[in-house]
Amino acid sequence: MKGRLLLAGSLAMAALGLGAPLLADNPQFEGADPHAVVIGDALWVFPTGGPGGSWSADRFGAFSTTDLKTWQDRGTVIRRDAIKWIGDDGAKDHFLWAPGVAQANGKWYLYYSVGPQNPTPSRIGVAVADKPEGPYQDVGKPLLTGGNGFEAIDPMVFIDPKTKKPYFYAGGSAGSTLRVFELNKDMTSIRREVKVQQPPHFTEGAFMHERGGIYYLSYSHGKFNGSSYSVHYATASSPTGPWTYRGAILTSDATHQGPGHHSFVQHKDGRWFIVYHRWDRAAGKEPFDGERQIAIEEIQYDAKGDIMPITMTDGPPAKPW
């Protein structure tokens, strides 16, 4: 989610809180920028915003399901007023969006974007908790600050299953620049930056997953509030490239626009899924406004390991979670 979409009125929107279970098929619920993880038998989603128009600039919530039908609201994981450094840049307003989580050291780590992007640089924070639902405690300073044409947005952390090294991916949007860092083992500080080539058609929202020894760097391309928004990917033999561009796999269709800012997750039975946001509408006047919807699709790989083009669906999944 881009901070520029957040109007002043967002600050007064209803808080994310515990409520009745949400019943849903595709689209699953209102929200954007979903970072999804599998925890036990459940699929958890950490989005920007959430169901019922609870789009809020000042907090993050978490939601979980065991059937892709009924979602449990896990409550607020962190609030803006718990981030003590957030006003150090002197900006009048501050917005939170695009969270990501990682598990290591017996802890859970929440990474998040802090705007505005102008006139002060965007920043990425990190907070720590004992449980995935939190509460998370901010570490007391930004992990990364933007500037000089780089926007510090859209964090994602991937722990390489081969080397166990944690890699931190960030950046995009107006600068359309991807940066990759190796984190220290504490997961809250940067060990070094790894210079990487810029993937073709990269705009923002990088995500990394590994399957069968192939590393898949996927990302969003285009304007987040228009029909050009889409998911592309590249592959490599390491989590830092060099990348081989493979093309677009998720693009607008007649009734769904601007799919993107996604996650990949693997079910315990081996199936893979993509969790993403979209605008459920036909193409038309842009930029789009209103609420985006989170949806989930099962994905397929061909014999070479390439991801097959993804078709957006409505209603219940072909197979339950």
Q: What is d(CA 273, CA 35) in angstroms, rounded to the nearest whole number?
A: 12
164-168 LR contacts (CB < 8 Å, sep 24+): 166/102, 166/104, 167/194, 167/208, 167/239, 167/240, 168/111, 168/143, 168/144
The domain spans of the chain are 3-299
| DSSP 8-state code for residue 308 | P
CB 242 within 8 A of CB 220: no
What is the pLDDT, as a whole number, of residue 52? 63
Average confidence (pLDDT) per 10 residues, the chain, 321 residues: 38 42 89 97 94 73 94 95 96 95 98 93 98 98 96 98 98 92 98 97 98 98 97 98 98 98 97 97 95 96 98 90 87
pLDDT reported for residue 50: 82
- For residue 191, the model assigns a pLDDT of 98
Alpha-carbon span 229 to 233, nearest angstrom: 13
pLDDT number for residue 311: 97
Q: What is the pTM of this model?
A: 0.93
**CATH superfamily, with its number, for domain 3-299:** Glycosyl hydrolase domain; family 43 (2.115.10.20)
Whether the link from the prior residue into 27 is cis, omega within 30° of 0, is: yes
